[in-house]
Amino acid sequence: MRIFSGIRPTGEIHIGNYLGAIKNWIALQEKNECVFSIVDLHAMTTPYLPQELQKNIMEVTKVYLAAGLNPEKCIFFVQSQIKEHTELSWLLSTVTPIGDLQRMTQFKEKSVKHKRDVNAGLLNYPILMAADILLYGTDLVPVGKDQKQHVELAREIARRFNKKFGKTFKEPEVLLPKTGAKIMSLQNPEKKMSKTDNPQGCIELLDKPDAIRKKIMTAVTDPGKEIKYDVSQKPGISNLLTIYSLFSGISTTDIEKEFEGKGYQTFKEKLSQLLIEKLEPFRRKKKELELRQTLLEKILEEGRKRAQIIAQETMKKVRKKMGLLK
């Protein structure tokens, strides 16, 4: 199976990104042809600081590697370094109805959030994402729930293109994790955990023990004191139970039993300890990578070369099908 996925280099990577996407990628790279990208062009659709983008790209590179992405087992590269992404994005825009873009939930939400900067890039975001996916003949796209709609649109774009110009692209499918596809904010369990959310609601993979403890101990819980998985009645505790379960490998039912009659405080203390312990290797490995700038550059360059071969091959076919000169 060919797998493609990406992450924007905007700020720190949090446990939602990890549990919803990266953890899955690490497992998939063992038995599949995986292509993973740092999608810097997508990061430019909302306000950002140019002087920080390069640094963020390198930060994400280190976190990816610290989390277990193995460049010997997957292709790992920076999106903007392969020009075919933007080229295909333009070509695909000619088969994408504007209405499909306007009904995207992320576009609607971000247009409200960034009222003063609703740029065309924000609207066209899913086309570039479709280009990312389709360039590599992707079968499966492992993402969190918030990106499901975009992957479905990529599938629709592939279908339209094939219908109009003849079979060219595979129709990719979304791959969501069974649990953890939507980790919620610790401060507002009705909202997904997000990089731009209240920082107290978001645990970063590289958070220090004190920060982890503070965020978990102040996480919003629900009335009552029972540790019970019940998303509609107890969204706060259910979210913490999901996090506990995914980091410990213990089922939520067994965790409920373990904490029967013990109350929120004890549960939160145990969860803090668990996270501190499980996130320690990320911090350690990331620190080791701080000193390996040359290695990081080499990995990205290697990834760029390998990705480009596939991307150029696809573009040759696409240009021909669409009637462009060689």
Helix axes 293-321, 120-135, angle to 10 degrees: 90
Q: How far apart are CA 32 and CA 253, in angstroms?
A: 32
Token digits of residue 25 = 């990628």
By beta-carbon proximity to ligand TYM, the closer residue of 134 and 276 is: 134
By beta-carbon proximity to ligand TYM, the closer residue of 10 and 272 is: 10
By beta-carbon proximity to ligand TYM, the closer residue of 5 and 80 is: 5
Q: How far is the CB of 191 from ligand TYM (least distance, A)?
A: 9
Residue 105 burial by Cβ neighbours in a 10 Å radius (0-12, 13-18, 19+): exposed
Helix axes 263-290, 50-67, angle to 10 degrees: 110
Annotated active-site residue 195? The verdict is yes
Annotated active-site residue 192? The verdict is yes
Catalytic residue among 182, 192, 215, 234: 192
By beta-carbon proximity to ligand TYM, the closer residue of 18 and 264 is: 18
Query: Please, are residues 55 and 64 in contact by the beta-carbon 8 Å criterion?
Result: no
Q: How far apart are CA 120 and CA 118, in angstroms?
A: 7
Token digits of residue 302 = 């290697």
Q: Which residue is nearest to ligand TYM (CB)?
A: 20
Q: How far is the CB of 243 from ligand TYM (least distance, A)?
A: 10
* Alpha-carbon torsion (176, 96, 106, 308), positive or negative: positive
By beta-carbon proximity to ligand TYM, the closer residue of 131 and 289 is: 131
By beta-carbon proximity to ligand TYM, the closer residue of 229 and 259 is: 229
Measured at the alpha carbon of residue 106, what is the angle toward residues 180 and 28, in degrees to the nearest 5?
35
By beta-carbon proximity to ligand TYM, the closer residue of 59 and 132 is: 132
Q: Report the interface residues with ligand TYM, using CB under 6 A.
A: 4-8, 16-17, 19-21, 39, 42, 129, 132-133, 141, 143-144, 146-147, 181-183, 192-194
Q: How far apart are CA 236 and CA 189, in angstroms?
A: 5
The label of the residue with tokens 């955990």 reads 193
Query: Please, are residues 114 and 47 in contact by the beta-carbon 8 Å criterion?
Result: yes
What are the DSSP calls for 112-154, one per residue? HHTGGG--HHHHHHHHHHHHHHHHTT-SEEE--GGGHHHHHHH
The SS3 call for residue 175 is strand
Catalytic residue among 23, 62, 110, 215: 110
Phi–psi pair at 115, nearest 5 degrees: -45, -35
Residues recognised as catalytic: 110, 192, 195
